[in-house]
């Protein structure tokens, strides 16, 4: 949940920055800036989330007591 909230905060801050920027250079301003700003930041946010999954998913294959704890953690992160 923390990672999702962090991604949303980063996206909203980026959209707010783009929406408040001056439109003198031809960039959209206000509500028209939302879609371009979201498209611009979608790939980096997706990449950071996938990197977290890549780190935690292999932990689900551990065995023993460590594996039981790690499996719950990795499945929670993947969900």
Tokens standing for residue 75: 């499945």
Q: What is the pLDDT, as a whole number, of residue 28?
A: 61
What domain count does the chain have? 1
pLDDT at position 41 is 82
Tell me the pLDDT band of 26, cut-offs 50, 70 and 90.
low
Q: Which two tokens stand for residue 68?
A: 């039981």
pLDDT at residue 72, rounded to an integer: 76
Residue 29 has pLDDT above 80, yes or no: no
- Find the domain containing 38 and state its range: 2-78
Give the CA dihedral 49, 53, 55, 59, nearest 10 degrees.
160
Give residues with Cβ within 8 angstroms of 20, minimum separation 6: none
- Is pTM, for the whole model, over 0.75? no
């Amino acid at each position: 949940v923390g990672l999702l909230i962090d991604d949303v905060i980063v996206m909203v801050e980026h959209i707010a920055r783009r929406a408040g920027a001056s439109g003198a250079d031809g960039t959209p301003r206000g509500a028209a800036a939302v879609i371009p700003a979201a498209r611009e930041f979608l790939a980096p946010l997706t990449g950071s989330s996938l990197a977290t999954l890549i780190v935690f998913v292999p932990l689900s294959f551990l065995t023993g007591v460590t594996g039981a704890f790690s499996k719950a953690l990795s499945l929670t992160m993947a969900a």
